[in-house]
C-alpha cells in the first residue's frame, strides 16, 4: 500500500513539475515574441585574447537581450568529431562555428537550419558581407551561416634578415622575385634555417596553382581539374623551391608550423594568414616582420579561410539562437570581435585594424577553401601525395593524376 502511495505521489509531483516547466516556457515565449530562454553557443576553444573579446561581444548581446541567456560551451580536442557526436545524439549546441571546409559535409547531412526566413522576418541584410565568403555558407540557394571573420594568405618577411641580405620585401611580387630574394637570403640564414618555409599541404600550395591559372575543381564542382599543365608548373615551382634548398617544410625546420619558423628565425619568408599576428605578438614579440601582398605569377591567386556562425536543425530554441547569430555578425558585434586585429571582418562596413591592407588587396583573388561533400579523404590523399613528392618518392605528374582520379571518384565519376 505504502509503495503504491509513494508511486502515486511521485507521479503527481512529476506532473506538477512538467506542467510548471511547460508553463514557463510557453509564457516566456509569448512575452518575448519567441526569443527567450537559454542558447548554447559552441566553438573550438579560443585563446585567452579571443576569449576576452568573445565574452565582451556576449555581454553586449546580454545587454540588448536580457531575457536570453547565452551558455558558452567551448569544445576542446577534435571539434569536428565532437560536434558530429553531438549531432548524432540530437543534442547539438544551438549556435556554433563551422569552418568553410566542413560546411558542405554538414549541410548535406541535414544538420543545419537555413537562416533566410529568420533574416527576412527581422529585416537582416546580408548585403554588407563579402559575397565570396557568404557563398561559402550557401547551399541550394539558401544561407546556412554568416561568416564571423576570415583571412586570405599573405607573405610575411623577417625584417632584420631581409635587411641583412639586401632584400626589399615590398619588391617581392612574383615567383621570379621570390626565387631571387630566397637566393640572396640563403647566405644569411644560420645553421639548418632556410629562406622560405613551405607547408607540405594543399591549403598553401593551391594558392600557387591559382596564381598560375590552374584550379582544383571546375566552377560547378562536378569534376576535378587539378591534372593540368598550369597546376603541374605551379607544383614544380613549389616543390622546386625545396629541391633547390631555398625552402623547407616545418618538420625539417624543427617547428610545428611556418609561423613558428618565422618566430624562431628558421625561415625568413612564410605565407600565412591573419592568425599569425596574435601568435607572433604573444610568442615572439621581439621578432620584427612585415606583411606583404601574396605573391603572384600569371595572375593573383589566393585562398580564403572563413568560419561561420550557424544554427542547428535540432536546436531547441531557434528564435533565441537567431537573435544571437544576428547580434554576433552584426556591425557592432563584429566591430568588437575584430577590434584587436585577431581576425579580419567579413563585413565590408566594418573596417579592419591598421596594417592589414596586404590581406584586403588580395581579397578579390581569394578562392574559398572549400571543395565538395565527403572530400576530406581526397584532401588527405592530396596532402600525403604532396609530402611524397617533396621527399622525392613521387613525381608531380603522378601526384596530380592520382589526386584527380581520387577526386573524380569521390564526385561520382
Partner 1 sequence: MAATATTSSATGARSIGGERLKETLVGYGFIAGPMLVYGLLFFYPIAYSIYISRYDWGALGKISSRGSGNYRDLLHDHRFGLAVKNGLKFTIGFAVFSMALGLFVAVVVNNAVRARTFFRSAYYFPSIASSAAITAIALFVLSADGIFNKLTGLHHAWFGESGTALWAIVGLNSWTTSGTVMLFYLAYLQAIPTEVYEAAAIDGAGAWRTFWKVTFPLLKPGHFFVSTLLVIGGLKMFDQAFIASGGSGGPNNSTLVPVLYLYRVAFYDVRFGYAAAIGLALMLLMFTLTLIQRLTFGRAEAA
Contacting residues toward partner 1, per CB under 8 A? 78, 80-81, 84, 87-88, 90, 102, 105-106, 109-111, 192, 200, 249-254, 374-377, 380-381, 383-385, 387-388, 391, 393-394
Q: Residue 64 or 109: which CB sits closer to partner 1?
A: 109
Q: Closest distance between partner 1 and the C-beta of residue 317, in Å?
A: 19
Q: Closest distance between partner 1 and the C-beta of residue 391, in Å?
A: 6
Q: Closest distance between partner 1 and the C-beta of residue 191, in Å?
A: 8
Q: Closest distance between partner 1 and the C-beta of residue 242, in Å?
A: 13
Q: Closest distance between partner 1 and the C-beta of residue 39, in Å?
A: 21
SS (H, E, C) the chain: CHHHHHHHHHHHHHHHHHHHHHHHHHHHHHHCCCCCEEEEEECECCCHHHHHHHHHHHHHHHHHCCCEEEEECCECCCHHHHHHHHHHCCCCCCEEEEEHHHHHHHHCCCCECCCHHHHHHCCCCCCCECHHHHHCCEECCEECCEEEEEECCEEEEEHHHHHHHCCCHHHCCEHHHHHHHHHHHHHHCCCCCEEEECCCCHHHHHHHHHHCCCCCECCCCCCECCCCHHHHHHHHHHHHHHHCCCEECHHHHCCCCHHHHHHCCCEEEEEECCCHHHHHHHHCCCCCEEEECCCECCCECEEEEEEEEEEECCCCCHHHHHHHHHHHCCHHHHHHHCCCCCCECCECCCCCCCCCHHHHHCHHHEEECCCCCCCHHHHHHHHHHHHHHHCCCCCHHHHHHHHHHHHHHHCCC
Q: Closest distance between partner 1 and the C-beta of residue 247, in Å?
A: 15
**Sole residue written with cell 621570390:** 178
Q: Residue 52 or 90: which CB sits closer to partner 1?
A: 90
Q: Residue 200 or 214: which CB sits closer to partner 1?
A: 200
Q: Closest distance between partner 1 and the C-beta of residue 406, in Å?
A: 8
Q: Closest distance between partner 1 and the C-beta of residue 312, in Å?
A: 11
Q: Residue 162 or 400: which CB sits closer to partner 1?
A: 400
d(CA 219, CA 231): 16
Q: Residue 359 or 375: which CB sits closer to partner 1?
A: 375
Q: Residue 294 or 307: which CB sits closer to partner 1?
A: 307
Q: Residue 87 or 309: which CB sits closer to partner 1?
A: 87
Q: Residue 349 or 391: which CB sits closer to partner 1?
A: 391
Amino acid at each position: 500500500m505504502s509503495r503504491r502511495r509513494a508511486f502515486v505521489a511521485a507521479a503527481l509531483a512529476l506532473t506538477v513539475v512538467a506542467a510548471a516547466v511547460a508553463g514557463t516556457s510557453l509564457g516566456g515565449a509569448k512575452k518575448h515574441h519567441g526569443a527567450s530562454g537559454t542558447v548554447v553557443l559552441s566553438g573550438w576553444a579560443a585563446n585567452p585574447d579571443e576569449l576576452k573579446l568573445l565574452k565582451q561581444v556576449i555581454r553586449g548581446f546580454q545587454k540588448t537581450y536580457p531575457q536570453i541567456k547565452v551558455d558558452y560551451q567551448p569544445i576542446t580536442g577534435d571539434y569536428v568529431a565532437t560536434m558530429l557526436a553531438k549531432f548524432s545524439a540530437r543534442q547539438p549546441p544551438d549556435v556554433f562555428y563551422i569552418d568553410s571546409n566542413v560546411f558542405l559535409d554538414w549541410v548535406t547531412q541535414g544538420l543545419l537550419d537555413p537562416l533566410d526566413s529568420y533574416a527576412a522576418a527581422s529585416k537582416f541584410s546580408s548585403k554588407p558581407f563579402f559575397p565570396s565568403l557568404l557563398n561559402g555558407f550557401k547551399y541550394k540557394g539558401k544561407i546556412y551561416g554568416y561568416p564571423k571573420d576570415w583571412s586570405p594568405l599573405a607573405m610575411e618577411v623577417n625584417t632584420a634578415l631581409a635587411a641583412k641580405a639586401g632584400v626589399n620585401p615590398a619588391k617581392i611580387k612574383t615567383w621570379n622575385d621570390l626565387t631571387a630574394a630566397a637566393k640572396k637570403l640563403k647566405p644569411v640564414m644560420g645553421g639548418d634555417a632556410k629562406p622560405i618555409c613551405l607547408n607540405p599541404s594543399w591549403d598553401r600550395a593551391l594558392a600557387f596553382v591559382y596564381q598560375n591559372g590552374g584550379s582544383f575543381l571546375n566552377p560547378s564542382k562536378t569534376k576535378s581539374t587539378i591534372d593540368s599543365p598550369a597546376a603541374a608548373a605551379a607544383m614544380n615551382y613549389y616543390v622546386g623551391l625545396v629541391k633547390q634548398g631555398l625552402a623547407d617544410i616545418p618538420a625539417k625546420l624543427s617547428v610545428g608550423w611556418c609561423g613558428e619558423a618565422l618566430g624562431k628565425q628558421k625561415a625568413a619568408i612564410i605565407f600565412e594568414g591573419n592568425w599569425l599576428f596574435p601568435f607572433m605578438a604573444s610568442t615572439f614579440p621581439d621578432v620584427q616582420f612585415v606583411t606583404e601582398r601574396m605573391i603572384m605569377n600569371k595572375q593573383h591567386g589566393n585562398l580564403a579561410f572563413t568560419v561561420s556562425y550557424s544554427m542547428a536543425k535540432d536546436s531547441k530554441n531557434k528564435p533565441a539562437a537567431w537573435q544571437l547569430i544576428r547580434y554576433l555578425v552584426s556591425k557592432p558585434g563584429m566591430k568588437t570581435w575584430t577590434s584587436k586585429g585577431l581576425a579580419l571582418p567579413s563585413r565590408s562596413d566594418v573596417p579592419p585594424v591598421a596594417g592589414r591592407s596586404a590581406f584586403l588587396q588580395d581579397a578579390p583573388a581569394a578562392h574559398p577553401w572549400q571543395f565538395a561533400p565527403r572530400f576530406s579523404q581526397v584532401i588527405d590523399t592530396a596532402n600525403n601525395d604532396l609530402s611524397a613528392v617533396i621527399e622525392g618518392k613521387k613525381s608531380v605528374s603522378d601526384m596530380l593524376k592520382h589526386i584527380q582520379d581520387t577526386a573524380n571518384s569521390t564526385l561520382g565519376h
